[in-house]
């Protein structure tokens, strides 16, 4: 009986020690492993109207669409711009109406998107398109530092006169445009 008691006591002691080590290991793994963890989120929501006409062929910043973020390093950024828009093409327009929207990181364009319409004949009536637009981009791993994200736009084709326009956040409709930046630990 004494041998059985010593064996049982040793088994219990081993189970306690092993269980403690296992518990510590799992706790370390789950609490210390931050891979994929969102470190910070910066977000802008803007409801003011912004209008670009087809004669605006020089890139310009979309009003109130700039975020600066300080990163800790060993991380990457997920960038997202989304909005509802109205693309208006007035009667008399002939050809294409194309607008370019860019996400920039520290002044460098990193992704482009386009909103456009093309017609092979002169429009007899004004037409409007209502839709949504989204740009998303994931950076490579970045060193610690300050990064500035902006959204720019421009018309790619200048009309003879202002015969098309792009509107973000119309005063007629109650919607917002968003710029969201998230820092993610690698």
Over the chain (186 residues), the average pLDDT of each successive run of 10 is 60 59 50 77 94 93 97 96 93 87 97 91 87 96 97 87 82 85 96
Q: Is the dihedral of CA 100, 101, 106, 111 positive or negative?
A: negative
Note the Cα 53 to chain centre separation in Å.
25
Each residue of 132-150: b (16+ CB within 10 Å) or e? ebebeeebeebeeeebebb
Provide the pLDDT for residue 31: 46
CA 163 – CA 178 distance, rounded (Å): 27
Residue 135: the pLDDT is: 97
| Per-residue pLDDT, 3 | 58
Q: Cα separation of 47 and 91, whole Å? A: 28
pLDDT at 170: 74
73 and 101 Cβ atoms separated by less than 8 Å: no
């Amino acid at each position: 009986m004494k041998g059985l008691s010593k064996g049982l006591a040793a088994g219990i002691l081993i189970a306690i020690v092993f269980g403690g080590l296992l518990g510590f290991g799992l706790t370390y793994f789950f609490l210390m492993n931050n891979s994929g963890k969102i470190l910070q989120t910066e977000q802008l929501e803007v409801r003011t109207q912004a209008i670009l006409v087809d004669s605006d062929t020089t890139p310009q910043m979309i009003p109130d669409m700039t975020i600066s973020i300080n990163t800790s390093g060993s991380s990457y950024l997920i960038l997202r711009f989304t909005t509802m828009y109205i693309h208006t093409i007035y009667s008399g327009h002939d050809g294409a109406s194309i607008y370019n929207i860019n996400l920039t990181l520290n002044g460098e364009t990193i992704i482009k998107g386009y909103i456009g319409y093309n017609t092979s004949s002169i429009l007899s009536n004004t037409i409007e398109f209502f839709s949504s637009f989204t740009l998303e981009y994931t950076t490579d791993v970045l060193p610690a530092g300050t990064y500035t994200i902006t959204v720019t736009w421009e018309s790619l084709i200048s009309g003879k006169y202002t015969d098309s326009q792009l509107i973000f956040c119309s005063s007629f409709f109650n919607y917002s445009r968003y710029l969201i930046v998230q820092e993610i630990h690698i």
